[in-house]
Copies of this chain bind each other. A is one copy, B any other.
Amino acid sequence: MADPADRALAALGPGRDAAARRRHADNLAGLLRAMAAHGRERDDPVRTVPALLGDRWSSLVMNLLAGGMLRHGELRRLIGAVSSEGGISQRMLTLKLRLLERDGLVARGITAETPPRVEYALTALGAEAHAHYLALLRWTEAATPAIRAARAAFDAGNGPGPRAG
């Protein structure tokens, strides 16, 4: 009764049958083990990496770098040309590139030419992360009709207010 999963399980209402409680107990145990294994801090990779896929620019940056190394200005212009929702600000691009670089997903290098050029490229780790993004994207593309249908149904029948099921 002293272990965390049991304590968490106390959050369940009394209306649960034994099978449901067991299912939730297993699920909670897994969650708590995962939380204990890697940190719960805000900047832990298990939080920041999924966040990359959700933020406005990181996945697009990785997408463009998947085509080969690019300079800061090239990235900025390409994003402006592709995103069609207003380009990225110089500040944000620098910020996102730093974050990606810090996590080892993007590499920054200066060529030996004159004048020197600052180039960004995906690392092997970054390519793997990007592959996961592409997998999710493909699923989402396939699921989009179903999602749109769900939205239409929700917006039609279930307005605001306390709905009666």
**Which residues does A use to contact B, with CB under 8 Å?**
4, 7-8, 11-13, 15, 20, 23-24, 26-28, 31-32, 34-35, 37-38, 40, 42, 44-46, 49-55, 59, 63-64, 66-71, 73-74, 77-78, 80-85, 101-104, 108-110, 116-118, 125, 128-129, 132-133, 135-137, 139-141, 143-144, 146-151, 153-155, 163-165
* Contacting pair B151 A82 (CB below 8 A): no
Given A85-B40, A136-B50, check contact A147 B103 (CB 8 Å): yes
Given contacts A7-B81, A13-B74, 10 further A-B contacts (CB under 8 A): A12-B74, A12-B78, A23-B67, A28-B64, A28-B67, A50-B136, A54-B55, A102-B154, A104-B151, A104-B154
